[in-house]
Chains A and B, each alone.
Chain A
């Protein structure tokens, strides 16, 4: 069975600094995708970044990068140059298989607070 673990219930970071949000996963499948989503207090889920299990390069999207260590089964999110608007809850998720139709498993989330 899939399992996602986010060990940091809450994190604080100073504005303009970088922060790493941890995510480890467990799966017996060889093909899977890892996703990070941001959920502001308004509730909508915003897709941030994706990493495929066969991708050799770490994914990057603007200020977001994913530190993918396959052997350790970790997929940490790095946010550079934090902004006040980054304050939100962040979820790591995994989807097994090669299609887009599979269901995803979510971690418990990390609440990030950016301090001015």
Chain B
């Protein structure tokens, strides 16, 4: 079964709305989670690294005030797209790795993604 749960799976809303996406690790405590954005038929673009109990680390070119990340607990990270506009429409996907894996061959576990459509 899924070890990372992401909700909602699909959002359609009006321009100017803020949208919150949740990413939960189900079977382990994730001190670090990652948020990606993906355009159709394109690669995953890392937006930010979500760190439990501290500020997120954003990749170059990603607006911190636009994409708010909160990692308030060891099992939950949220991404809020503030004042969303049509250009924010995309597929957003989160991932987490189990830090207690015995070695580095543990893959990232991905949520099922959120399709965001801003009208």
Pairing of A with B: yes
Interface residues of A (CB under 8 A from B): 31, 33, 35, 37, 42-45, 47, 50, 52, 89, 91, 93, 95, 97-101, 103-109, 111
Chain B 26-56 interface mask (CB, 8 Å, partner A; 1/0) = 0000011010000001111010010000000
CB distance from B54 to the nearest CB of A (A): 14
Chain B 76-100 interface mask (CB, 8 Å, partner A; 1/0) = 0000000000000001010101110
Q: Which of A33, A89, A103 contacts B41 (CB 8 A)?
A: A89
Interface size on B, residues (CB 8 A): 27
Alpha-carbon gap, A45 to B73, bound state (A): 24
CB distance from B112 to the nearest CB of A (A): 5
Q: When A91-B44, A109-B43 are in contact, do A50 and B105 touch as well, CB less than 8 Å?
A: yes
**Chain A residue at minimum C-beta to C-beta distance from B102:** A100
Contact status A106-B43, CB under 8 Å: yes
Which residues of the partner chain A approach B15 to less than 8 Å between Cβ atoms?
A: none
**Chain A residue at minimum C-beta to C-beta distance from B59:** A103
Contact status A106-B41, CB under 8 Å: no
Contact status A43-B112, CB under 8 Å: yes
Which residues of the partner chain B approach A37 to less than 8 Å between Cβ atoms?
A: 107, 110
CB distance from B14 to the nearest CB of A (A): 23
Q: When A43-B112, A100-B101 are in contact, do A111 and B91 touch as well, CB less than 8 Å?
A: no
Q: When A35-B107, A43-B91 are in contact, do A100 and B99 touch as well, CB less than 8 Å?
A: yes
Interface residues of B (CB under 8 A from A): 31-32, 34, 41-44, 46, 49, 91, 93, 95, 97-99, 101, 103-110, 112-113, 115
**What are 30 A-to-B residue pairs whose CB atoms are below 8 Å?**
A33-B104, A37-B110, A42-B112, A43-B91, A43-B112, A43-B115, A44-B113, A45-B93, A45-B108, A45-B110, A47-B107, A47-B108, A52-B103, A89-B41, A93-B108, A98-B104, A100-B97, A100-B101, A100-B104, A101-B32, A101-B97, A101-B99, A103-B46, A104-B46, A105-B46, A106-B43, A106-B44, A109-B41, A109-B42, A109-B43
Q: Which of B43, B95, B104, B105 contacts A91 (CB 8 A)?
A: B43
Alpha-carbon gap, A100 to B28, bound state (A): 13
Alpha-carbon gap, A33 to B107, bound state (A): 9
